[in-house]
Amino acid sequence: MKFTFYHNNINVADLERSVAFYKEALGLTVAREKEAEDGSFKLVFLGDGTTSHLLELTWLRDMDRPYDLGDNEIHLAMKVDDMEAALTHHKEMGCVCFENIEMGVYFINDPDGYWTEICRADG
């Protein structure tokens, strides 16, 4: 028996805003979408165009409060081939929330407060 990664899920308050953020910040594109017949939820799967791993964004119609992210210690991680350009881009977007210069990584946060770690491709 062999398991392989398929996708990670996060729930979002404003699906369009989140899709736009992940497109601009990380270059992710919509791979597929699914919507409940009764309109109670919508799923949008985003991909990087290179790997088969997807980020599933879930919007729930009846959610009436911000999501509780706890201590926000769970995060996504992405590799980038040009760390300096990426950091400049994310600083211009105003989404850099933590830098660890010593480790050569930084984090961005999305509109719902989820963090993504940005790592050097060679690190």
Q: Which residues are catalytic?
A: 117
Give the bridge partners for 79, in sequence order: 119
Q: Are the CB atoms for 12 and 58 separated by under 8 Å?
A: yes
The secondary structure of 72-108 as a DSSP string is: ----EEEEES-HHHHHHHHHHHT-EEEEETTTTEEEE
